[in-house]
Amino acid sequence: MDKLVIRGGRRLSGCVTASGSKNTSLPIIAATLLTGKGTFTLHHIPDLQDIKTFSQLLNHLGVETSFADNTLKVSSRNVESLMAPYELVKKMRASIYVLGPLLARFGHARVSLPGGCAFGPRPIDLHLMAMEKLGARIAIETGFIDASIPDGKLRGAHIDFPVSSVGATGNALMAAVLATGTTTISNAAAEPEIETLCKFLIAMGATIHGTGTTELEIVGKESLNPIEFHNVFDRIEAGTLLAAAAITGGDITVNGVEPQQLKAVLKKFVHAGCTIDTTETSVTLKSPEKLLATDVTAKPYPSFPTDMQAQWIALMTQAEGTSHITDKIYHERFNHIPELNRLGARIEIHKNQAVVHGPQKLSGTKVMSTDLRASASLVLAGLIAEGTTEVLRVYHLDRGYEKIETKLKSLGADISREKYNEF
Ligand code: UD1
């Protein structure tokens, strides 16, 4: 297995470029299943384990993929299987994204139930509710979702989500674009990942009104076309790099971003005392003498993202005062806290809120990654901890951060990847 070995205390400075968004890549790759007419060319796709796992899932269905230099080519001409097996789905919950497109194009799909995850229960009831509204019959048997369409074709409907869900909105969109008639989605997720998926589907020939809002209207089409598409930047990676600079008292510029998408996060950096300058495509962060305790509450976009909560907690261990970090999306997403406390942080958990007492001197030791963003928070803590921090089970981090140690090294961090035997 791989671990990251970090010798803390180096101030980060310089420029770095954001990678393509992982969480946007996954639904747009799934959307290629909607047509068998030719080949898609997707640029700015990050070279990550999750992309490999998703490509493997598509390959299992018979789809041809090739990946080189962050460009993924996908051809769904010969789909031979409509079944997403447990072995692949269990590795990545986003595999559920194949449900909507397979059902809409072929009238049938069998997708393994994803099961729980490291930060609590993650139901898929809203995905299934949306498919049923569009006319699908859903049966759960032997650990699989078995979806079919008794009428032969999905038909437009009104879908009102009681909870804002990125995944369920994505699946509903991908099913509705091939349904007969008009579908309306209320309380749709307005995350940039869904906005980009809408743009992608529109470029394929879909008609969607309300892109970027919580009310979407989709007019179904007979068929869609393959396209060439340039993926957007990874807003969570960009936020993580800014937090890495801030925790070390550094100054960095992240290029290749759209600052608008980072608005809620940048606002919090300013509250914490950082100076933020933006251009159309970059963000520059300058650290203050002393970071100030700053509360955040993770909520659906455009609020502060749950995927930045763990990194913010790490940052707040170095801020003057007590900060409260509340997660209103995933109430149990706090696996990083015991590990941060092992490095010397003073963090308590009260229900869905972490209370961070800062500033605390951290000292390096071995810590264990438990999930993607938790791992990122441990790396951030390692950058400021005295001595050496070893972040074990880095495969969690590799699911979502492209060349993270190369990027941090280029900014001046002392970080290296080493092999180890866990047992
Ligand atoms: C996506 C992101 C993930 C991010 C999350 C919230 C991807 C691949 N993953 O996950 O990184 O943390 O958005 O921004 O893009 N819910 C239900 N029933 C459902 C679906 C969701 O109750 O059927 C609830 C969830 O438990 C959670 C909330 O809705 O409380 C939001 O989850 P959702 O937006 O669906 O998360 P994902 O799309 O799985």
pLDDT in tens, 181-220: 999 999 999 999 999 999 999 999 999 999 999 999 999 9
Q: Out of 15, 117, 198, 274, pick the active-site residue.
A: 117
Residue 362's pLDDT band (cuts 50, 70, 90): very high
Model confidence at 175: pLDDT above 80: yes
Confidence of residue 117 (pLDDT cuts 50, 70, 90): low
Ligand 1, CB within 6 Å, residue ranges: 23, 26, 93-94, 122-127, 163, 165-168, 189, 193, 305-307, 329-330
Fold of 22-228: UDP-n-acetylglucosamine1-carboxyvinyl-transferase; Chain (3.65.10)
Fold match between domain 2-19+233-419 and domain 22-228: yes
Question: What average pLDDT score do residues 348-367 get?
Answer: 97
Give percent of the chain with pLDDT exceeding 90. Answer: 96
Q: What is the mean pLDDT of the chain?
A: 97
Q: From the CA of 5, how far away is ligand 1's center (Å)?
A: 31
Question: Given this model, what pLDDT does residue 152 score?
Answer: 87
Domain-wise residue ranges, the chain = 2-19+233-419, 22-228
- Which residue is closest in CA terms to ligand 1's atom 7? 23
Backbone φ, ψ for residue 338 (5° rounding): -55, -35
Closest CA to 231 of 96, 79, 74, 92: 74
Query: 89, 122, 304: which to mutate for ligand 1, most atoms within 8 A of CB?
Result: 122
* Separation of CA 26 and ligand 1 centre (Å): 14
Mean of pLDDT values over 6-25: 98
Residue 189 Cα to ligand 1 midpoint, Å, equals: 10
pTM of full prediction above 0.85: yes
Element (H, E) at 265: helix 263-271
pLDDT confidence band for 121 (50 / 70 / 90): confident
Give the atom of ligand 1 at the shortest distance from the alpha carbon of 128: 23
Amino acid at 226: P
What was the pLDDT predicted at 114? Answer: 86
7's CB contacts (< 8 A; 6+ apart) are: 364, 387, 388, 414, 415
pLDDT at residue 227 greater than cutoff 90 = yes
Distance CA 27, CA 371 (A): 21
Identify the band that residue 423 occupies on the pLDDT scale cut at 50, 70 and 90. confident
Which pLDDT value is given to residue 171?
A: 98
Cα 165 to averaged position of ligand 1 atoms, centre (Å): 5
pLDDT per position as a tens digit, 24-66: 999 999 999 999 999 999 999 999 999 999 999 999 999 999 9
263-291: average pLDDT: 98
Pair 144, 110: CB distance under 8 Å: yes
Q: Average of pLDDT values for 274-291?
A: 98
Alpha carbon nearest to ligand 1 atom 32, residue: 165
pLDDT at 116 over 70: no
Amino acid occupying residue 123: P
Give the position, in ligand 1's atom list, of the atom nearest the Cα of 372.
Answer: 11
Nearest C-alpha to atom 5 of ligand 1 is from which residue?
Answer: 166
Give the atom of ligand 1 at the shortest distance from the alpha carbon of 120.
26
Show Cβ contacts of residue 74 under 8 Å, excluding neighbours closer than 6 positions. Answer: 29, 32, 39, 40, 42, 58, 63, 64, 65
Q: What is the mean pLDDT of residues 156-160?
A: 98
For tokens 């993270």, name the residue: 404
Overall average pLDDT of the 136-152 stretch: 95
- From 23, 165, 214, 397, the mutation candidate for ligand 1 (largest count of ligand atoms within 8 A of CB) is 165
Q: In terms of CATH architecture, what is 2-19+233-419? A: Alpha-beta prism (3.65)
For position 120, what pLDDT does the model report?
A: 72
Residue 117 known to be catalytic:
yes
Q: What is the mean pLDDT of residues 114-118?
A: 72
Q: Residue 398 C-alpha to ligand 1 middle, in angstroms?
A: 20
Outline where 90-206 has alpha helix (H). 99-106, 125-133, 166-176, 192-203
